[in-house]
Amino acid sequence: MLDIKFIRENKEKVEENIKKKFQNEKLPLVQEVIDLDEKKRKLQLEGDELRKNRNLISNEIGSLMRDKNIDEANKKKEEVAEINKKLEAIEKEEGTIGKELRSKMMLIPNIIDDSVPVGEDDSKNVEIEKFGDPIVPDYEIPYHADIVEKLNGLDKESAGRTSGNGFYYLMGDIARLHSAMLSYARDFMIDKGFTYCIPPFMIRSDVVDGVMSFAEMNDMMYKIEDEDLYLIGTSEHSMIGKFKGQIVKEEELPITLTSYSPCFRKEVGAHGIEERGLYRVHQFEKQEMVVLCKSEDAMDWYNKMWQYTVEFFRSLDVPVRTLECCSGDLADLKVKSCDVEAWSPRQQKYFEVGSCSTLGDAQARRLSIRAKGEKGNYLVSTLNNTVLATPRGLIGVIENNYQPDGSIKIPKALQPYMGGKESIKI
C-alpha cells in the first residue's frame, strides 16, 4: 500500500506505474483515492474546529457556574450538546470514508523498481544468469513420479483415498531425502547468520490483508470454517505478521529470520493440480528467509538473498538460473522479484524452485511495522525468499542425480542427514 501523501503528490507516476503493470482498469482508483482523501481531510479539519470550540465553551461554562450564572451556563451546555451531535455525525462519516479510502488504496499496486522489465505476463520474464552446466545425460530420465514409485517412495493412490487429488504419501528413503533437504536448508541458513523460527501455521484475516492482495488470498488460501483463521500458503505470512503493530529498535535492524513450515494452497487459477506428479500440489513444506531492514539496505539484501538460494541448489549438484520477473508478473505489493529455476534434464528446460522479492514498505504500512531511530519512527522494508520448497525442490535433486541403473546419487551435502547413505537404490 502506498503512502497517501505520495499518491497526492505523484498522481502521474502512480498512474504510469499502473499502466506498466497492464492494470488500466485500476487507473480511476487514483483520482478516487485523492478525492476521498480530500473529503476525509476536510472532515478532520471541521471536526478539529468543533472540538476547539467545544473546549472554549466548556471553559466558559466553568466560569459561569463559578459565578452562579446557571441559566447562561445551561444555554452553553446546549451548545456543547449540539456540537457533540455534529461531531458524532462527522466522525461516523469520517470512519466510513476512511474504510473506503483504505480499501481502494490497497488495490493500487506498489511502485516497481526502475530495473524491472516491462511485460504483460510471465512469458516476458528475462533470464539473468545461469549457474552450473545444464547437462542432458546420454540415458533416459523417466518422469519423476515413475522414478520415485520404483523406489517405493511415493503413494498417490492412497492419498487420493484419504485426501483427494493434489496430495501424496512420501515413503522410505525418498521421505528421508525430503526431510534431509529441509534439515540441510535450515542449517544452511543458520550458517548464514539467520535466526531459525517455526511460526504459527494459521493466521488471522488482518494479517492476511497485511501481507498479500485480496486476489492472491482468494486463489491461494484455505479458510478455517467459522473461525477468523487461514492456513498459511508460506511462512512469510506469519513471519511478517509477527511484527504487526510493533516498533523495533533501529539498532536491531536488519532482522534476518529463516522459518520452516508446511504450506497449504488451493492453487485456484494456477496451471492445475497434477494427477501423478509432485510439482504442483495442495500441501508442501518450505524453508523461507525473511528480512526486515532500512529502505536504503533493501536492494543489497535482495541480491544477497537470491544468491543464497542459488548457492544452496548448486551445493546439491542442481544447475539453476535466475529469471527477472517482468512488471505484469509482479504481485501488487512487490517492488522487484526474481525466480530461481532448477534445470530439468528430463524436460530439458528450467522450472521454478524459488522466488525472491523486495516489497519496500508496503507490508510494513499495512501492518504498522516501524523502527525507532534518532529522527523518529519510520516504516521498515520487508523482503522474502524461498530457500527450499519441496517436494518441488526434491524433483530437481532426483532428476539431476538420477543414475542409469535407476538409483539416485545422494549429494554429499545431504549424506550426513541420511545416515551416511550415498545413494537410494531399487
Cell of 3: 503512502
pLDDT reported for residue 227 = 95
pLDDT beneath 50, residues of the chain: none
pLDDT reported for residue 220 = 83
Q: Which residue has the cell 498522481?
A: 11
pLDDT reported for residue 268 = 59
**Amino acid letter, 334:** K
pLDDT reported for residue 72 = 86
pLDDT reported for residue 356 = 98
Cell of 268: 485456484
The domains located in the chain, with CATH, are 4-105 (1.10.287.40), 122-424 (3.30.930.10)
List helix spans (H) across 212-255.
214-220, 235-241
CB burial string 79-112: b at 16+ within 10 A, e below: ebeebeeebeebeeebeebbeebeebbbbbbbbb
Cis peptide before 254 (omega within 30 of 0): yes
- Of the candidates 109, 116, 25, 125, the one whose C-alpha atom is nearest the C-alpha of residue 332 is 109
pLDDT reported for residue 100 = 96
Cell of 163: 485426501
Q: What are residue 288's phi and psi, to 5 degrees?
A: -115, 160
CB burial string 275-298: b at 16+ within 10 A, e below: eebbbebbebbbbbbbbbbeeeeb
Q: What are residue 335's phi and psi, to 5 degrees?
A: -90, -40
CA-CA distances (angstroms) from residue 45 to 42, 149, 416?
5, 70, 67
pLDDT reported for residue 273 = 61
Q: How far apart are CA 120 and CA 266, in angstroms?
A: 24
Whether 331 and 363 have beta carbons less than 8 Å apart is answered as no
**Amino acid letter, 128:** I
pLDDT reported for residue 275 = 64
How do 255-264 and 195-197 pair as beta strands?
A: parallel
pLDDT reported for residue 31 = 97
Contacts of 133 (CB under 8 A, 6+ apart): 319
Q: How far apart are CA 52 and CA 30, in angstroms?
A: 33
Whether 401 and 410 have beta carbons less than 8 Å apart is answered as yes
pLDDT in tens, 230-247: 999 999 999 999 999 999
List helix spans (H) across 245-350.
298-314
pLDDT reported for residue 406 = 95
CA-CA distances (angstroms) from residue 317 to 77, 342, 400?
81, 10, 7
Contacts of 253 (CB under 8 A, 6+ apart): 292, 293, 294, 297, 371, 380
Cell of 94: 469520517
Q: In residues, how long is the chain?
A: 426
**Amino acid letter, 211:** V
* Burial (CB count within 10 angstroms: exposed 0-12, middle 13-18, buried 19+), residue 323: buried
Q: Which residue has the cell 497434477?
A: 274
Q: How far apart are CA 403 and CA 421, in angstroms?
A: 15
> How many helices and strands, by DSSP H and E, does the chain display?
13, 17
pLDDT reported for residue 364 = 97
List helix spans (H) across 368-405.
392-400
Give the CA count within 13 Å in the CB-facing half-sphere of 131.
21
Q: How far apart are CA 80 and CA 143, in angstroms?
A: 78
pLDDT reported for residue 76 = 87
Q: How far apart are CA 310 and CA 323, in angstroms?
A: 12
pLDDT in tens, 387-421: 999 999 999 999 999 999 999 999 999 999 999 99
Whether 197 and 240 have beta carbons less than 8 Å apart is answered as no
pLDDT in tens, 368-385: 999 999 989 999 999 999
pLDDT reported for residue 212 = 86
- Of the candidates 388, 342, 76, 378, the one whose C-alpha atom is nearest the C-alpha of residue 249 is 378
